[in-house]
Amino acid sequence: KNEVEQSPQNLTAQEGEFITINCSYSVGISALHWLQQHPGGGIVSLFMLSSGKKKHGRLIATINIQEKHSSLHITASHPRDSAVYICAVRGSNYKLTFGKGTLLTVNP
Amino acid sequence: DTEVTQTPKHLVMGMTNKKSLKCEQHMGHRAMYWYKQKAKKPPELMFVYSYEKLSINESVPSRFSPECPNSSLLNLHLHALQPEDSALYLCASSQVRHPLRDTEAFFGQGTRLTVV
């Protein structure tokens, strides 16, 4: 069983829809990262969380440490949001453990 | 400047070639990382440097040789690679902070390597 599980694996939405991607982890962590990767491209860090909630533009990330669960929300989704969204957790050292990613496609 | 710059963006090399990938950051980060990512898979950690010293080697074959000549530069020297080594190679950097929960990682755009 992977230490970091994301759901769904694939998500298709219509422009304007509210989107939620979930991440569950089974190990103790010092921080959780949400990352975005466009096809063939590099990785952009969206959020780093150790507690609570963060908001940046149309993106919101929440984490519940007790339940070992985090969600990434996108409000008013747009085709340019189409990408792979990756949840990654950091334990007690420099190593990040990655989820398998969620492929989001937003259709106009 | 919040960028991690990787060169080249694309590289095609033969199995007998020697080549190097380069990564540069000017954010004052003292931890730098190499990741390998195969298509449709998450990145896999290869190496971590902390204060220019190798701190983690994830049992990477010796045909991959990392080097951190100074606090801004990270190289990955490649020699006698196999076609299965074809992948996207990502560099990342972060501050060295305690507790580690404050350590945000910044990634480069990657080098797309094809071994023929």
Burial A57-72 (b: 16+ CB within 10 A, else e): eebbbbbeeeebebbb
Which of B42, B50, B110 lies at the smallest CB-CB distance from A101? B42
What is the rounded CA–CA span in Å between residue B57 and residue B71? Answer: 18
Which chain B residue's Cα is nearest to A37? B109
Beta bridge partners of B50: B31, B53
A36 SS3 class: strand
Interchain proximity A95–B56, CB inside 8 Å: yes
SS3 track for chain B: CCCEEEECCEEEECCCCEEEEEEEECCCCCEEEEEEECCCCCCEEEEEEECCEEEEECCCCCCEEEEEEECCEEEEEEECCCHHHCEEEEEEEECCCCCHHHCCEEECCCEEEEEC
Interface test with A, best of B54, B56, B60, B101 (most A CBs within 10 A): B101
Mean pLDDT of chain A: 92
Q: What pLDDT shows up at residue A41?
A: 80
Q: What pLDDT shows up at residue B104?
A: 79
Q: What does the pLDDT average to over B68-95?
A: 95
Q: What does the pLDDT average to over A17-33?
A: 92
Interchain proximity B42–A93, CB inside 8 Å: no
Q: What does the pLDDT average to over A13-29?
A: 94
Interchain proximity B48–A43, CB inside 8 Å: no
Q: Does B48 contact chain A (CB < 8 Å)?
A: yes
pLDDT of residue A107 exceeding 60, the answer is yes
Q: Does B74 contact chain A (CB < 8 Å)?
A: no
DSSP state of A95: P
What is the rounded CA–CA span in Å between residue A83 and residue B36? Answer: 19
Q: Is the distance from CB of A11 to CB of A19 less than 8 angstroms? A: yes
Q: Is the distance from CB of B20 to CB of B78 less than 8 angstroms? A: yes
pLDDT tens, A1-15? 568 999 999 999 999
What is the rounded CA–CA span in Å between residue B99 and residue A66? Answer: 19
Which of A45, A93, A100 lies at the smallest CB-CB distance from B104? A45
DSSP state of A18: -
Report how far apart, in Å, the C-alpha atoms of A40 and of each of A1, A83, B96, B105 are: 27, 10, 29, 19
pLDDT tens, A33-85? 999 999 878 899 999 998 999 999 999 999 999 999 999 999 999 999 999 99
